[in-house]
Amino acid sequence: MLNEFDIFQNKVLGAHAIWEFTKNFQINHSEKGLPSLLLTMPVLPLCMNKRVVTGIKERNFKGGSLLRALDENKDLFSGLQDRMEGMANLTLESIYLGSVVGLISYDRNNSVIVPVARVLPTKIKENMSKNSEYVDIINTSRRIGAWFGLFNQSEISLYFNLKF
């Protein structure tokens, strides 16, 4: 089981997950838009929760799959608001690290996260390939990015019972 506050809560994994999220958000957004900083805040609390990862890592990328996941596992996303608030520093530190290493950038004027890198650095790829739980977290972040790209902020807030 992933221990949310020990093993996997590191900034490198967080930066990688946010990069994958932003890429998939933009690909799936009807206007190729970018995720706001606010929409990025629930990414790590979702991706670093073992039950959430198990519940969505292999689902398809269509919006209906998110709605089914929410319907089938009504309790899966409970407590997300508290986890999001508790992990805010890790999320912001991961965004900063992702910016420093060139994976993402933060556009202050528009308050959005921009995927910058085209490919993952070799060192991160090596770490990822050795750890199936890491791969599961990244697969989850890709799906969350795709799903969030299909809905607006109000819908996401409603579906996940979040207050920004």
pLDDT per position as a tens digit, 84-96: 999 999 999 999 9
**pLDDT lower than 70: segments of the chain:** 1-9
Taking all residues of the chain, what is their mean pLDDT, rounded to a whole number? 88
Q: Which residues pair with 36 in a beta bridge?
A: 112
Coil vs helix vs strand at 34: coil
Give me the pLDDT at residue 8, please. 41
Q: Give the global pTM.
A: 0.88
DSSP 8-state symbol, 33: -
pLDDT value for 139 = 93
Task: Reduce the DSSP state of residue 154 to 3 states and report it.
Answer: helix
Instruction: Report the number of secondary-structure helices (H) and strands (E) in the chain.
Output: 10, 2
Residue 142 identity (one-letter amino acid): R
The whole-number pLDDT of residue 9 equals: 52
